Chains A and B, each alone.
Chain A
Amino acid sequence: MHPDALLRLEEFSVRFDGISVVDRLSLEIRRGETLALVGESGSGKSVSALGAMNLLPPNADIVGGRWLEDVDLSHLPAKAWYGIRGSRVGFVFQEPMTSLNPLHTVSKQIGESLRLHQGLGGQAARKRARELLEQVQLPRPDELLDAWPHQLSGGQRQRVMIAMAIANEPDLLIADEPTTALDVTVQQEILALLAELRDDQGMGMLFITHDLNLVRRHADRVCVMQQGRVEETGTVTEVFTSPSSEYTHTLLAAEPSGNPTPLDDAKTLLRTQQLSVSFSRPKRLFSRRPPPFIAVQPLTMTVAKGETLGIVGESGSGKTTLAQALLRLVPSQGEINFDGQRLDRLTGNALRRQRSRFQVVFQDPYGSLSPRLPVSSIISEGLRFHFPELDDREVERRVVATLQEVGLPTDCAARYPHEFSGGQRQRIAVARAIILEPELIVLDEPTSALDRTVQKHLVELLRELQARRGLSYLFISHDLSVVRAMAHRVIVLKDGSIVEEGGCERVLNAPRHPYTKRLINAARPVHLA
């Protein structure tokens, strides 16, 4: 045991109703260091951290030793936990949208933990809260003290969460995917802040993530987990340069690789002219209607047959709105020319008939499939509507063929979406789109909810389908490594307008616009010497 060890787990196991979720985990975190707990979703990372702090539901069965410095946590009475959680151990969670109480102002959120653990109240608590906001480098702390969570951006909320976590100067900070919901540039700022606070206050940090890039940059030691078991522990340099376990190898190699098949001069499939989308803002009583919010500035773009156009930008840049305007799912102004046809002029049934030619795959693999329909009906639904002349046998034959094409077992047609993993669900969504034999598929962040290894397979599948069927893709993503592997050309969106446009290699390797540079810098993997 290291003399500086802050948190120590030994042979730590968690079982839920007899199912093992964490299996004999041993680790220790020292003062002033960051230990990263890495693994794909479901590998037991979060459960380990929550279990160590007794935050799991009562059907969890925890065995093994756990110590916080010299306190044995495994036999702690419930009362004693109050003195540990929030005081000696601080938490930062993944979802900044839901981890702040929407009905409390910032000063009240922070003040609550100050009152409970330090007995501070009134002006003293407010003063300390202001100090904390300064410490987490929030601008205009005086104003923000009285702000409500919905007035803050995602990054600001996460900073407030961090302020709450460090309010009582904890010894240990547990950060559970603290940046997953944030844009890449904001991610870097938050993690730099966490590192700074850790050094200032001599904290130990447990950093839970699935993103190896972040680990490489921000952790000292790393512990790789797979299905509840530790695969490998070591310093970041050791693990990244000479991984000893097979699994770490696959994780490290899971970066989507390769390039799209190069394209000869192909004819234009989709062209927009001065396409813009605006949303009217609500009118207040006795005042003029405020000017509409412009989500997409008038823009002109083209997609050729068989081409992938990547659309890159941070959240709020109008990527998804643009895609939905192209699909005619939100009203827009301007011209949309699809294969010589003015899509923006079609309505009603004429538009519906055309819809089989341009399809979409959404981001969330859990939300985009109706939970009450078996896979076969989900896939065949569009087919039955657009080709009513097909009989049941023919429909079934095509469903089976499409399932095979997207690499799913054919016996899954009768099963329901909840029986599938995220990657498989995304394949079902792809099958639903390609069974109509479309010419264009809009892929709206299709990989962002998936683990790296699964992403890689999906990207390969999409490229394969493109080569075989000559599909055009409109590929929306904030993840530049996936864009690099998919796109021929890229447009970079910021606040609804195009700031840079060009061939994928050119834009990603030699960006011209400062915004693009910033985006690429933040996402670039750091190669260790």
Chain B
Amino acid sequence: MAMFHRLAARLSPISQRRLTVFRHNRRAYVSLWIFGILFLLSLCAELIANDKPLIMTYQDQWYAPVLIDYPETEFGGFLPTPTDYHDPVIRERLASEGWALWPPIPYSYQTLDMELGRPSPSPPDSRHWLGTDDQGRDVLARVIYGFRLSVIFALVLTIGSLVMGVVIGGIQGYFGGKIDLIGQRLTEIWSGLPVLFLLIILASLVEPNLWWLLGIMLLFSWLGIVDVVRAEFLRARNLEYVRAAKALGLPSRLIMWRHVLPNAMVATMTFIPFLFTGAITTLTALDFLGFGLPPGSPSLGELVAQGKSNLQAPWLGITAFLSLSIMLSLLVFIGEGLRDAFDPRHIQATNTSPTTNHSQRVTHAS
């Protein structure tokens, strides 16, 4: 916490006030912490849910199967393929000639549990805390990996569309005139393209993977940001301090970067959390329809689809519902908090009234 305070002290007064407003919003603040912890945990998904031991000894030698793929021949198998540590033969050998430290969930998102005593999908028990899906894969492991994949997808998509939107919107707004006119018409035409159909067509042409999806989504998701950024730049380019910077002889890119962008980012920042939730929802929807990530990937949308086709196994649907709704609610709460923190009226209300500011200003007048 001490570091946090030191960091806060280095921020500009406006940012400091925003930080205070955000921290006073308990719901948003707690949501941010919960979401941050969940995301950090999911980043270490390989250490939490994996079908390989974290660390082990075999014949007095140390192995770290999480990091390195050992061929099965290493442990007395016959084939030089990567070791299946769930194989009864291998397990027996490991148990007799060493020991292994397993992750808390000894299944990865694509591990098929061959020793499941009953038909899959199997209900939750001590072996699979949230049960298995219709292919005998551990649901909890898939949720953890799926959460990570969704968040990373949304993160990259948000950052990417932010960069594209700010650059394109900034150029249109700052230069105005013909550039703005032509740019606006082009973005309007571009936004008329049907994204969903493009994705469906793509799914039949290539094997869609994460990067294909990201690329296609990125081509369209910046459109929402352009309007906001363009409006802010249009407004800011006539402000006196921007004119003063022009009169100083600064080149346009420096003016845009140092003077206009910081002020335009306020409006854009409030947009980000909703872009984020939008990205997660889109990915889930595509997976649900089957046009998304390749089969076998840990995806929440696929879990929803399984829940729909296996109504006799309610743990699938309930898990998908809960994990999605908790994640999206947390993000919306954070987004609300951010929006309030960046709202100038809110800052004024928590601070003193404008009239008193006025009198304070005069007391240290020159």
Contact = CB atoms under 8 A, between A and B. Distances in A.
Interface of A: 16-17, 19, 21, 40-44, 46-47, 56-57, 59-60, 227-228, 327, 329, 349, 351-356, 359-360, 362-364, 367-374, 381-382, 385-386, 407, 416, 418-419, 421-424, 427, 429, 432, 436, 454, 457
22 contacts: A16-B353, A17-B356, A19-B352, A21-B356, A42-B365, A44-B359, A46-B355, A329-B247, A354-B249, A355-B247, A360-B244, A360-B247, A368-B240, A368-B244, A370-B262, A371-B14, A371-B263, A373-B258, A385-B249, A429-B244, A432-B244, A454-B366
Interface in B225-255: 239-241, 243-251, 254
B249 A372 contact: no
Nearest to A418: B13
Contacts of A432: 244, 248
B244 A362 contact: yes
Contacts of B356: 16-17, 19, 21
Given A16-B355, A227-B359, A369 B241 contact: yes
Nearest to A415: B13
B352 A17 contact: yes
Given A424-B366, A427-B366, 14 more contacts: A16-B353, A17-B352, A19-B360, A59-B353, A227-B362, A327-B247, A354-B249, A359-B248, A371-B14, A381-B248, A382-B249, A385-B249, A421-B362, A429-B244
B96 interface: no
Contacts of A21: 355-356, 359
Given A16-B355, A355-B248, A381-B250, A40 B243 contact: no
B358 interface: yes
B259 interface: yes
A200 to B, nearest CB: 34
Contact of A42 (B240, B258, B262, B361): B361
B364 interface: yes
Contact of B245 (A356, A381, A454): A381
Contact of B246 (A41, A329, A454): A329
A427 to B, nearest CB: 7
A367 B248 contact: no
A421 B248 contact: no
Contacts of B263: 371-372
A423 B365 contact: yes
A371 to B, nearest CB: 7
Contacts of B364: 421
Nearest to B362: A42
Contacts of B353: 16-17, 57, 59-60
B352 A364 contact: no
Interface class of chain B by DSSP: helix
B365 A362 contact: no
B363 interface: yes
B12 interface: yes
Contacts of B12: 372, 374, 416
A57 B345 CA distance: 14
Contacts of A369: 241, 244
B362 A353 contact: no
Nearest to A364: B240
Contacts of A354: 249
B254 A385 contact: yes
A42 B366 contact: no
Nearest to A56: B355
Interface in B1-37: 12-14
A367 B361 contact: no
Contacts of A373: 258-259
Contact of A352 (B14, B251, B360): B251
A327 B361 CA distance: 32
A123 B132 CA distance: 79
B352 A47 contact: no
A217 to B, nearest CB: 26
Nearest to A365: B240
A421 B365 contact: yes
A421 B366 contact: yes
A385 B253 CA distance: 12
A356 B100 CA distance: 72
B249 A352 contact: yes
A436 to B, nearest CB: 7
Q: Which of B14, B241, B246, B366 has the most CB of A within 10 A?
A: B366
B152 to A, nearest CB: 31
Q: Which of B244, B360, B363 has the most CB of A within 10 A?
A: B244
B240 to A, nearest CB: 4
Contacts of A364: 240
A16 B348 CA distance: 13
Contacts of A60: 353, 355
Contacts of A368: 240-241, 243-244
Interface in B191-246: 239-241, 243-246
Nearest to A46: B355
Contact of B366 (A17, A327, A423): A423
A416 B13 CA distance: 8
Nearest to B242: A370
A433 B356 CA distance: 31
A16 B352 contact: yes
A381 B248 CA distance: 8
A382 B359 contact: no
Nearest to B261: A372
Given A372-B262, A424-B366, A228 B359 contact: yes
Contacts of B363: 227
A454 B362 CA distance: 11
A169 to B, nearest CB: 31
Interface in B327-366: 352-353, 355-356, 358-366
A352 B255 CA distance: 13
Nearest to A22: B359
B358 A42 contact: yes
A382 B239 contact: no
A436 B245 CA distance: 13
Contact of A367 (B241, B245, B358): B241
